[in-house]
Structure 1
Amino acid sequence: MTPRPVVQPDDLDRVDLASPVLHAENNLDEVWRHLRANDPVHWHRPVDGRPGFWVITRHADVHKVYQDKGHFTTAGGNALATLLTGGDSASGTMLAVTDGPRHQQIRNVMTRGLNPRTLEAVRHSLQQTVDRLLKNALDMGECDAAHDVAANVPLGAICDLLEIPESDRHHLLGLTSHAWSTDHADEPPQEAWVAKSEILLYFSRLAKERRGAEYDDMVTLLANCRIKGEPLSATELMANCYGLMIGGDETGRHAITGTILALTENPDQWRALKNGDVDIKTATEEALRWTVPSLHGGRTATGDVELGGKLIKAGDVASVWIYSANRDEEVFDEPDRFLLGRTPNNHFTFAYGMHYCLGHYLGRMEVHAVLDGLRRLVGNVEQIGEEKWIYSSILHGMHSMPVRMTA
């Protein structure tokens, strides 16, 4: 297959790291390697009227930002797409862009919906779904791993958790796939806003239907919970259902597609998986490190702070690049190799600290189920057409990857 063009460090002052087109159409590995070695806390110039921002690429520095609640906040946004364009409208209501006591209060409620009984039920259903999808792919012979397999795995898991009716699920899949990324460079931004609005309205209606009902799913839990005697506001309810849907679907989908691509590109690792030479749990962590479904996280400095010998001033936007940190030579041996037996594996795929991804249970279960299904059911998988990458500066994955699967 045709590799994407490699952006060289000499081009760094001419590229826009907040551009979805840059990430979809290019390979930035050399840029990340150069920044880690020479300018790990890098000031990115303003572009097209947007403010400049800090680009943080080393694992150790990313760790510092994630754990430093005193100098960095997600209030206002947690990604460049919103931080550079006026802030996130869900700030202070959605868990991912809320800090302080309210963050912990909402997180405590949502954690109750991820209890062992619920997760075990989701896990059982998830493995059945994966097995069915892989058997269908084998029957077809040739399929699109992104569309025919990966898209349907996390969709089922998150919709089971939220108890979304079967009749609504594929409509929601179409909306989530457009909310934070596009399939084409020239897709109008209005489509993303329409998709986000429709998801929010959908959960507003669903939550109203479930007020007063007995809790057995996350939407009902959120619709009927009380924090200090008060229910969640309508905005908090919609925003956090939206956050669960987007995070639970997009992350797993791109991790699964990326894992299948990596296995086609590394036949030695495919053999290790098939032969039982690697533990599935260990392999899952390497798949998550390698695929990096979220390219970066964003923060705003709340006070002046020194990092990597640079002064980040109060109000500055700081981006921590998970993709780069997950390939840091100081932390990972042979970081540019996909090694299913890698251990330890201290990746940042689910972030770190108070904003450690609440859905990490689901993400791990989804990738684990796919690896297990591939080991048991699929004799060989090969890529038979060009993969097509999504256009996003936040998410990292493919919307199409033609493969041939044989038993």
Structure 2
Amino acid sequence: MPTTPPLPRQNTIVRPGEIQGVGLHTGAEVRMRIHPAPVDTGIVFRRTDLPGSPDIPANLAHVVGTDLGTSIGQGEARLHTVEHLLSALVAREIDNAFVEVDGVELPAADGSAREFARMLDGCGLQEQDAPAKYLTVDQTFSLSKDRSEYVVAPAQDYRVSATIEFDHPLIGRQFASFRVADPSFATEVLPARTFGFLRDVEAMRGRGLAMGGSQDNAVVLTEDGVLEGTQLRFPDEFVRHKALDVVGDLALVGARIRGHVIAERPGHLGNVALAKELVARAEKKALARPILNIEQISQYLPHRYPFLLVDRVVEFEERKRIVGLKNVTINEPFFVGHFPGRPVMPGVLIIEAMAQVGGLLVLEQMENLDDKVVYFMSLDNVKWRRPVTPGDQIRFEVVVLQIRGATCRMRGVGTVDGHVVAEAEMMARVVDK
């Protein structure tokens, strides 16, 4: 009988790696060091030059800019030009890593992702004991943003096709298509360098951009060629670099992609908009197939109206992770007296809803549920990021940090349309009724 192939597992690196240089836009010297990370961490950047070394997760909720590069941030911490490293990580199927950076921008290296890929080769690849997360495209759709046009179609693996057009003798109209998991992606796409026009340099520097740009880390185009001393690595290096950027920006979905992305005139603004659309469609698909509906939730939780604050559960990994949804409507009883002229969901109830989702995760592993109840013992690092108003849908993701007997420590994050609205660490204990 045929056997079912094992599911792909998450990966991290075996040993740390390091690269340093100047930032393409800031021109500042910077050092970057990458470390292994546990399962389900994702890619998390850490600004080691700032007090407390704040973390910036590489996901859509933390995108703060797309001007000539993709920038992410959390609080006052910012990090620019993350897309080249992210593209190299995707190509190597590295799902989890901590990336320490002692400046506001990643090193430009040679303007491509080649040096990042070489560094990762030296780090080694470590398979982890958890299935890889996938975002699978099962229906063709299109999207337009600014001048960028995209069509995304189902595919067995991850493929990116890109077309660009510039009124320049070395570019004109170029098209290229690549399978991201193919080993050739590392040799045919990752070495493609960023490019720009000499006529635009003065204006960019007037805006504080391209301060570290040079022939060492970019292809600089003159009116009819390139600056003397520059040799193209590929005749179509320009479109290859755009494909590199697409893969790096779409890494912000936080999962491996199965689908064919066809991009016409892609740019960072459009790439991020496409990433958001991919996530929104995946969440909508999950909504159509809840793991637990409200009737089933009522069998687990003792709460009842008006304090049952979870509408459905859409993802669940035993003893690891759960995703639950709360639909906020104007009919909620707390809106009658809580800022009635400007309805805002009380922050304590947002955390209560998060705790109920976490309670479902804890109770699922227990036998004789009729005799058990979950009591929360502590809350730490509680933060409210944005107001929640009628019409919002809060997506709560709660992950287990530690389980000891009947006590569980968890971390929860609530998002609305990809933006973080609240987060907290929680400790709960299962007790007999």
Same fold (TM over 0.5): no
Please state which structure has a larger fraction of its residues in helix.
Answer: 1
> Max radius of gyration: which structure?
2
Please state which structure has a larger fraction of its residues in strand.
Answer: 2
Q: Which of the pair has the greater relative contact order for Cα pairs under 8 Å at 6+ separation?
A: 1
TM-score computed with the length of structure 2 as normaliser: 0.27
TM-score computed with the length of structure 1 as normaliser: 0.28
